[in-house]
Amino acid sequence: MAATLITVAPTGAESDKAEVPALPVTLDELVRTARECEAAGAAVIHIHIRDDEARPTLDLGRLRETVLAVREATDLIVQLSTGGAVTDSYDDRLRVLEAGPDACSLTCGTVNFGADVFMNPWPFMVELYERTQELQIVPEFELFDLGHVAALHRLLTKHGLPYGGHVHCDLVMGVPGGMPGDARTLVAAVAALPEGATWSATGVGRTSLPVMYAALSAGGHLRVGMEDTLTYGKGRPVTANAQLVERAATLARIAQREPMPPKEARTFLGVKPRP
């Protein structure tokens, strides 16, 4: 059995620092989190950043500084979010790539997102995809719904393979408005993926554990972190992202699928060598 790629998504754009004090929102907190999560078994970090008031931001200067600081402190693959917050403009989301990450998220369609709508219309997807190809950034295709799998097929058919030549997807399950986070939906989504694609899965909120077990048993990889899960167990708030990575690494080891080190993950994902 192959190793398990573990991605940590430590911050997200939705939670409020005042309500979730353990959320890493400053650069120092993020770098410390990145170090701890690497030590616990993560190979990729999916990053959203915050401003001085801990509000989500796509400020390019801050993003560049973040990419450099995380690279300096760890060997983690730096994946910037191009999803941002539901309020971010398409232009700001496209500009994220100019911060020079190794990888980025690329969501394959619009989805209801709680009471909001996460907008990813086809022309935006295409423009973002073409820019990743030009800038040699490896996209991770975020799939919130089965229709997004169909849109991914369309994107690959019309616009070719991603930079690095390998298609890697992340099933984001259990978002209110997206596909449910359960085993039968995971199996259906995996069956529909393009030939040769690899995938990880994350279950939002209380779907975190069912999705993690289902992903491991189906040969997939894992994404965990406080972007998706704030509760470790009933009545137990998550105290640090590394706690979630440690749990994922433990379950992966039990499944006889050791966490994949960052160097191996670079080859696996087709990420270019460190500048």
Residue ranges in contact with ligand KMH by CB under 6 A = 12-13, 81-83, 85-86, 105, 107, 113, 118, 142
Tokens read off for 261:
């080190």
Q: Mark the segment that binds Zn ion (CB under 5 A) among 78-86, 93-101, 205-213, 267-275.
A: 78-86
Let me know: does 235 contact 130? Beta carbons within 8 Å: no
Q: Answer with the entry of Zn ion, ligand KMH, none that 86 interacts with (C-beta below 5 to 8 A by kind).
A: ligand KMH
Q: Answer with the entry of Zn ion, ligand KMH, none that 82 interacts with (C-beta below 5 to 8 A by kind).
A: ligand KMH
Tokens read off for 42:
């993560």
Q: Mark the segment that binds Zn ion (CB under 5 A) among 30-38, 74-82, 90-98, 122-130.
A: 74-82
DSSP 56-78: EE--HHHHHHHHHHHHHH---EE
Tokens read off for 92:
């700001």
Q: Mark the segment that binds Zn ion (CB under 5 A) among 77-85, 206-214, 218-226, 264-272.
A: 77-85
> Smallest Cα–Cα separation from 232: which of 242, 223, 217?
242
Instruction: Give the DSSP letter of residue 98.
Output: G
* 81 touches Zn ion by CB under 5 A: yes
Q: Which is nearer to ligand KMH, 119 or 150 (CB)?
A: 119
Q: Which is nearer to ligand KMH, 88 or 257 (CB)?
A: 88
Measure CA of the first residue to CA of the last residue in the chain; give whole Å.
Answer: 31
**Residues in contact with Zn ion by the rule CB under 5 A:** 81
